[in-house]
Amino acid sequence: MTAPAPVSAPTTPVSGHWQVSVHRCLTISCAICGLDVWDEYVVHFDSEHELWEWVSTQGWTIRRDGNVLCPKHSADADCAEHGHHWDDWSLFPGDPGIEYRCCERCSAADERRIDRQRHRCP
């Protein structure tokens, strides 16, 4: 006994159907946060060369382990591997007894209390 031939579903013509195209494209996301190239929308590329060329100009990196990271996580990984790149110490605006500094790569912050001893002028 043979099974009946499958019946294809009826197709409904769509207005403007000649304007619909199927394209093969590439997208990329961060291995840590899943962030696509831009938050607002997913950027599509026609070739791997185009994808890597554009992504490399936006601060994304390919790590030694093969993971691709967004700019924020690339900076975090660089600091974890090479240490922070601190700017100069500055006085904390709300408390003159505290100094702070920020990493120029990943925006980590560090602070320290400073002793300001008052000396009488001779």
HSE of 105, CA atoms in CB hemisphere, 13 A: 14
Domain locations in the chain as residue ranges = 23-81, 84-122
pLDDT band at residue 17 using 50, 70 and 90 as cut-offs = low
pTM flag (> 0.85): no
Span 42-82, pLDDT tens digits: 778 888 899 888 888 888 888 999 898 988 999 999 999 99
Under 8 Å between Cβ of 89 and 99: yes
Q: By three-state DSSP, how is residue 19 classified?
A: helix
User: Distance between CA 54 and CA 87 in Å, rounded?
Assistant: 29
Per-residue tokens: 84: 């922070």
